[in-house]
Structure 1
């Protein structure tokens, strides 16, 4: 059954993921060391590492495990952020910028190690990712990105047009940046596996349990859900782009960018061999980008900016069929078996944020479409901070106040409508 009876919320991932661990809504009252709000990548990683460190943990999830971006994204396990590597020290200072680059550069390896250690069945592919250049401008961007990463010792390599065509299966791109650190996973399966590992380690996880109010009572926080209360000495807010209710500033500092994914039926063996034969995940350098990768059953998952609601549903679906046929003519006439979408939270500088939202209330947010690997390692950082293993000065981000983004509603409408306009006319063949 689809999440909340909506096949467009989690699509293929809900259909192919192992079932979630058994959870229930919080009823009654309990006291814990740390309350974690949100059961996505960050919340489940924080809960796992806190529980393994001996802390008593309760996770409060308003919906279901992986309900937000963690269960809807394309499943690219990337290193770094969207911005150029050199932009991080420029924006955050040399110490935090280079520290963040090291953390995020190693983050895919952390994901894969957790998958192996806890036996998480999530369709791991460790063949890297391909950032595909559209035209000479895109190629120049990737050449500079390669230079900046290689200066830091990263295993990335710029492929020429011929090499790119061999790895992608189309001559549409001028080149591609191959990042061997990266890969793909089934994201909903991964976050459910993290949740199960956290529960096994001793964390208590409650779904359908939104935190509707919070009161600082001096020595502890009192968090109310519709049917229960959690008393916690410390609180981790891990809601990111799907934040609502208490601590709404996490939502107000982000512009929602809608992003959809569509999956073909399983392709026959000949078609599978003709596209991404080594099974890298891929995306391009267009402003309204496209991403594509295979799942383990041979479905090609194809995505871009836009919301599958109202007229956008047909516009984006029809564009997807045209765009795929233009990239891979052998797929002309093959439709989509699953369609789903969600929201990416974009900050003003396209970088994540670390906030202290109250006494002993901390939060990482603003992943800007890079949630899997950063969410995993940021969750571990939050756990280490709560366990006293590191101090605030050791974190990869400085403490900053949450600031409302200007003209947020107008910008969100612009992204939604703009994507529809672009896709209505785009990729006509």
Structure 2
């Protein structure tokens, strides 16, 4: 009998780790990157490829944050529709962002090939599943908007939809052939290995305690050392810690939990997402569904699992599984884990240049695998050229989100109540 426990599957499935070396003494570099996730590593690799010396500081270990704990979907675009992006940002800037994020999955898979990363990548697309008629209308709108922009998307219905999803409980599914899935921890660790091969300095267990300008350089201090650099990239996202930067006030934290089964086999299991896509449904408090390389069923949703008893998380997973995939019978759940998301009120990211030679980004709203990859490289290109045209968004001043702690509390309370209703079969 498997003991249901708290552990991130992607850590278990990624045995390779980066040797931990903490910063001690003084290090000089052209650029100091703060944050060892996908954004920071992608920026560092681009800079190294262009001949810059780079020192990367990670407060914990590579992949500790959202980069190693997410669902592993390699999705195009933002959570909101492309027309809505234009409505918020304006025609020129909105379409620029839509284009960049539409091409982002291709860049992720290109980066995997470029650095020879083994992260169980599959570029078979993703499925956005309609849980009711309103959800189907939403998907029709998304299909039309993306097709106007030349994207390879298709709304599946009827038998074709059932064949792809493995369930008859959805009325349609938007297949986005640009997308795919990865093991996100393996992707992040693979980027870190590439950084070291290219000569970058990587220090873990080295949280930043102070960032200040000193003459023509930036001084980045940790408990036992400091980095002197001409330029700095802040890429800590939702896991920003300490008082050394205003960035953590530009978003509010949300959470996302996942539950993984033991490896499944047999005809009923094989029917689930048989063509290799990852998926999520159109509920406001969505459920994500995917399989891993060993055949596990992974379910996820917005909210924390770490503050709930194991029986509650198991009951929620049972409810979702039995609704979508009743032919599986009783499923044995193996582990659960929670990650943190940096949300913004309009669900769009922000890029900042608070001072010369200092750039930062926040507000991925749960799409870090693709967004982090292209934004990291774009920030690096800006530092190399001082040309803001390399960025898919213009810089903004740091803007404080009002009452971030209260927003986080209300979001988490709402998610928890919804999940309780699912467990009690009051809602689904």
Q: TM-score range by the shorter chain?
A: over 0.9
Q: Which position in structure 1 is the counterpart of 2:348?
A: 351
1:395 equivalent among 372, 380, 391: 391
Question: Which residue, 396, 403, 406 being the options, matches 2:402?
Answer: 406
Between the aligned partners of 1:405 and 1:11, the Cα distance in structure 2 is: 30
The answer to whether the Cα contact below 8 Å between 1:85 and 1:149 also exists between their aligned partners in 2 is yes
**1:174 matches 2:171:** yes
Give me the whole-angstrom Cα distance separating, in 2, the residues matched to 1:54 and 1:9.
42
Following superposition, the deviation at residue 293 of structure 1 comes to 0.7
Deviations 1:17-74, CA, capped at 9 Å, x for gaps: 1412224001110111000000001001001111111000000000000111001100
1:51-70 map, 5 Å = 51-70=48-67
| Matching residue within 260, 266, 271 for 2:263 | 266
Q: Is the 8 A contact 1:355 1:400 kept in 2?
A: yes
1:17 paired with 2:39, answer no
Kindly state the Cα deviation for residue 335 of structure 1 after the two structures are TM-superposed.
2.2
Mapping for residues 248-287 of structure 1, pairs under 5 Å: 248-287=245-284
Change (3 A) 1:182 1:298: same
Partners of 1:178 and 1:228 in 2: CA distance: 49
Alignment of 1:317-336 (within 5 A): 317-336=314-333
Contact 2:352 2:396 in 1 (8 A): yes
CA distance, structure 2, for counterparts of residue 34 and residue 387 of structure 1? 10
CA contact (8 A) 1:69 1:344 kept: yes
Match of 1:86, SS?
A: helix
The Cα of 1:313 is off from its aligned counterpart by: 4.5
Q: Tell me if 1:162 matches 2:159.
A: yes
Please state how far the C-alpha of 1:427 moved relative to its aligned partner. 5.4
Partner of 1:136: 133
Match of 1:379 in 2: 376
- Farther-moved stretch of structure 1 (140-149 vs 352-361): 352-361
1:237 aligns to 2:234 (yes or no): yes
Relative to structure 2, which stretch is displaced further, 203-212 or 397-406?
397-406
Question: Given that residues 13 and 188 in structure 1 are in contact (C-alpha distance below 8 angstroms), is that contact kept between their aligned partners in structure 2?
Answer: yes
Q: CA deviation at 1:160?
A: 1.1
Relative distance call for 1:35 and 1:88 in structure 2 (3 A) is same
Distance 1:274 1:387, change over 3 A: same
Match of 1:3 in 2: none
Matched residues in 1 for 2:180 and 2:297: separation?
15
Matched-pair contact (CA < 8 Å) for 1:33–1:56: yes
| Cα displacement string for residues 219-255 of structure 1 (whole angstroms, at most 9, x for unaligned residues) | 0011111111100100000001111124543222212
- Runs of at least 5 residues in structure 2 that lack an aligned partner in the other structure: none
Residue of structure 2 in register with 1:90 after alignment: 87
Q: 1:404 and 1:317, CA in 2 relative to 1: closer, same or farther beyond 3 A?
A: farther
CA distance in 2, matches of 1:9, 1:233: 42
Aligned equivalents of 2:162, 2:244: Cα separation in 1: 47
Distance in 2 (alpha carbons) for counterparts of 1:319 and 1:61: 34
User: How far off is 1:10 after superposition?
Assistant: 5.4
Mapped contact 1:307–1:313 kept (Cα < 8 A): no
**Helix, strand or coil at the partner of 1:426:** helix
Distance 2:59 2:415 in 1: 30
Question: Is residue 22–residue 203 contact of structure 2 (8 Å, CA) maintained in 1?
Answer: yes
- Report the secondary structure of 2:82's partner residue: coil
Q: How does 1:177-188 map to 2 (within 5 A)?
A: 177-188=174-185
**8 Å Cα contact 2:287-2:299 kept in structure 1:** yes
| Residue 315 (structure 1) aligned with residue 312 (structure 2) | yes
Q: Is the aligned partner of 1:36 residue 2:47?
A: no
Secondary structure in 2 matching 1:311: coil
Provide the rounded CA distance (Å) in 2 between the counterparts of 1:12 and 1:342. Answer: 12
**Are 1:109 and 1:181, in contact at CA under 8 Å, matched by a contact in 2?**
yes
Q: Distance in 2 between matches of 1:312 and 1:353?
A: 35
Deviation of 1:428 (Å): 4.9
1:425 positional shift? 2.0
State which of 301, 307, 316 in structure 1 corresponds to 2:298. Answer: 301
1:340 correspondence with 2:333: no
Quote the offset at 1:218 in angstroms.
Answer: 2.5
Output the TM-score relative to the length of structure 2.
0.95
2 CA distance for matches of 1:79 and 1:247? 33
Q: Which moved more, 1:402-411 or 1:72-81?
A: 402-411
5 Å-filtered alignment, 1:176-215, equals 176-215=173-212
CA contact (8 A) 2:7 2:335 kept: no
